[in-house]
Amino acid sequence: MKFGVVTFPGSNCDEDMVHVLEQVLRVPVERLWHKEHDLKGVDVVVLPGGFSYGDYLRSGAIARFSPIMNEVVEHARRGGKVLGVCNGFQVLCEAGLLPGALLHNAGQRFVCRNVHVRPQTFDTDLTRGLEDRALLIPIAHGEGRYHADEETLMVLDDHDQVLFRYCDANGISTPESDPNGSVEHIAGVCDRERNVFGMMPHP
């Protein structure tokens, strides 16, 4: 399985992602520039963290119109796997590949620290095999507050699309354990077809 890591102007976690994929997971990786129109035969597209286009307008709002995103959208619609982390999650929401939106943190401050999240479903390629416990993962964002309307939240719950929720070290979700005020403490979601994944924490 070949992975492709997209770099936008302002991406700053792309090399981290390439390093982990190549050196830890030992999988082949293609670097994909935002102006390209070819995914180079990759099976999984990864949109990494960073501040694409300086996060002007809204985080991910400009990157969503990059040429490579036309290919990413088509890849996803054909059932291809796509993972968006932090800024990548924001881009996927802006592109309509994932439900909801990422808003300014409730505290109106950039948050950079380790947080706990707990898997909510184990029926996805991303979460299958994880333990049902609190996982300590770093975050670094100013616009990470997940928001969706009541109808969308019902659909997410009905179709088991919530991947992770913020929690404390014991795995309990509370307002205090939520670093950005996300609705229902949601830290990551997938699409209904379970091939597009987004999460704010950096795994």
Query: What CATH architecture is 3-97?
Result: 3-Layer(aba) Sandwich (3.40)
What pLDDT is stored for residue 202 in this prediction? Answer: 95
Task: Please give the pLDDT value at position 54.
Answer: 77
Mean pLDDT across the stretch 79-85? Answer: 98
How many residues are present in the chain? 203
pLDDT at 6: 97
Q: Which residues contact 119 (CB under 8 A, 6 or more apart)?
A: 127, 130, 131, 132, 135, 163, 164
Whether 103-194 and 3-97 are alike in CATH topology: the answer is yes
Token pair listed for 195: 């091939």
- pTM attached to this predicted model: 0.94
pLDDT at 203 over 90: no
Cα distances from 116 to residues 8, 15, 27, 135, 186, in angstroms, run 28, 24, 27, 5, 12
Query: Looking at residue 51, what is its pLDDT?
Result: 87
**CATH domain 103-194 topology:** Rossmann fold (3.40.50)
pLDDT mean across residues, the chain: 95
3-state class (DSSP) for residue 32: strand
Domain boundaries of the chain, sorted by first residue: 3-97, 103-194
Q: Taking residues 51-62, report their average pLDDT.
A: 78
Q: How many whole angstroms separate alpha carbon 73 and alpha carbon 196?
A: 10
